[in-house]
Amino acid sequence: MSAPLLVIAAGGTGGHMFPAQALAELMLTRGWRVKLSTDARGARYTQGFPREVEIEQVGAATFARGGLSAKAIAPFRITAGVAAAVSRMMRDRPAAVVGFGGYPSIPALAAATLLKLPRMIHEQNGVLGRVNALFARRVHAVACGTWPTELPPGVEAVHTGNPVRRAVLDRVGAAYIPPGDYPMSVLVIGGSQGARILSDVVPPAIANLPAELRRRVRVSHQAREEDVQRVSTYYSDEGIDADVQTFFADVPTRMSEAQLVICRSGASTVADLSVIGRPAILVPFASAAADHQTANARGLVEAGAAIMFPEKKFHVEALSEKIALVLGDSDGAMRMAHAARDAGVPDAAERLAGVVERLVDAEKGKDS
């Protein structure tokens, strides 16, 4: 008897792909076969997936971006993607299909709906994304990473937490070294696309720190490609030790070694912060759909693990004051780190896998 097949469908950002990767890693250890359905943009995030995962690129499109011609052709691309997904699933029938959001998850979820296969969605943010909202009433289960999550009327969900990658789980329990009279690390990350505002505000805010504190700060700063040179030059001119790159492949390690993290509040970043347990200054992306990054940040802020800055209040002097507040208070920073860890759900992948397997068992029971 062949191993059951799980099809994971996810869009092309780290926020969707990292929890999808975490579930794939775990399901393989439980004896499942796993396929990932994504588009070309999502395929860029597959380097970290186990090699046993079969990657299927699908035709996907969005009505939210592009000009009139792109929007006109979108229905045809989506229809073609759904047809291709139906054909693949008829040849190799999945035991379950799990969607993690993003437009590239539409073909697999739509095909599973047409074929009446066991299917569910996982929403990482505190507000359902467009695609997950579309399918919320068409799936057998809804799992949520952030709690509470705003749901459509009549839709019930289970809180699983946001699964984190093995590289993050490997840092669980890494001791937090509170700020002190020694070199201190500040990690600045802006999500999948980087963040211009972090590159504009963070460097001068660090330069504005009291001299005695500033000389002990070491910065790892993720910046957009077009910002790397100016950010790197600024730090250098100010005599600040900084590593500026467009992408850090070792974010879990850098995060575990940091005394403070300054970042967006994407769902995966918040999950990583809470599982590893580090103090943070969170800057929600103001243009995020339904302001979901503010909803994501709320739990850590209320737990006393993070400071939240709305973009309109994210200015050099205010940020510099908060950085000094955290790095100048060893006991307070330690309390923030512990509060973050207490808010974490390190077994989120196990919880989500349990939902998948119970769903499959329930559907088998109906057929018997």
Q: What is the CATH number of the domain that holds 183?
A: 3.40.50.2000
pLDDT of residue 194 exceeding 80, the answer is no
pLDDT of residue 3 exceeding 80, the answer is yes
Considering the domain architecture, whether residues 135 and 250 belong to the same structural domain is answered as: no
- Cα separation, 281 vs 102, in Å, equals 27
Q: What are phi and psi of 125, to 5 degrees?
A: -95, 170
Considering the domain architecture, whether residues 284 and 352 belong to the same structural domain is answered as: no
- In tens, the pLDDT along 240-286 reads 999 999 989 899 999 999 999 999 999 999 999 999 999 999 999 99
Count other C-beta atoms under 10 Å from residue 170's C-beta.
Answer: 13
Note the helical H segments in the chain.
14-29, 40-43, 68-91, 106-114, 130-135, 166-169, 196-207, 211-214, 228-237, 251-257, 267-276, 292-302, 316-327, 330-342, 348-367
Token digits of residue 333: 């920073």
pLDDT confidence tier of residue 191, bands split at 50, 70 and 90? confident
Domain containing residue 206: 169-343
Considering the domain architecture, whether residues 196 and 228 belong to the same structural domain is answered as: yes
pLDDT of residue 76 exceeding 90, the answer is no
User: Is cis: bond before 148, omega within 30 of 0?
Assistant: yes
- Name which of 159-163, 190-194, 332-336 the model is least confident about: 190-194
Considering the domain architecture, whether residues 96 and 221 belong to the same structural domain is answered as: no
Considering the domain architecture, whether residues 123 and 229 belong to the same structural domain is answered as: no
- Cα separation, 298 vs 220, in Å, equals 25
pTM of the model: 0.91
pLDDT confidence tier of residue 140, bands split at 50, 70 and 90? very high
pLDDT confidence tier of residue 192, bands split at 50, 70 and 90? low
Question: What's the Cα-to-Cα distance from 49 to each of 90, 126, 297, 342, rounded to whole Å?
Answer: 25, 25, 27, 28
Considering the domain architecture, whether residues 338 and 231 belong to the same structural domain is answered as: yes
Residues of each annotated binding site for UDP-N-acetyl-alpha-D-glucosamine: 13-15, 125, 165, 192, 293
Segment (H or E) for 218: strand 217-222
Residues of each annotated binding site: 13-15, 125, 165, 192, 293
Per-chain mean pLDDT for the chain? 93
Cα–Cα nearest to 238, from 257, 217, 223, 224: 217
Considering the domain architecture, whether residues 153 and 185 belong to the same structural domain is answered as: no
pLDDT confidence tier of residue 84, bands split at 50, 70 and 90? very high
Q: How many domains does the chain have?
A: 2
Considering the domain architecture, whether residues 210 and 323 belong to the same structural domain is answered as: yes
Considering the domain architecture, whether residues 212 and 288 belong to the same structural domain is answered as: yes
% residues pLDDT > 70 (the chain): 94
- Cα separation, 224 vs 226, in Å, equals 5
Considering the domain architecture, whether residues 52 and 109 belong to the same structural domain is answered as: yes
Tokens 């579930």 — which residue? 23
pLDDT confidence tier of residue 221, bands split at 50, 70 and 90? very high
Considering the domain architecture, whether residues 93 and 194 belong to the same structural domain is answered as: no
Considering the domain architecture, whether residues 125 and 199 belong to the same structural domain is answered as: no
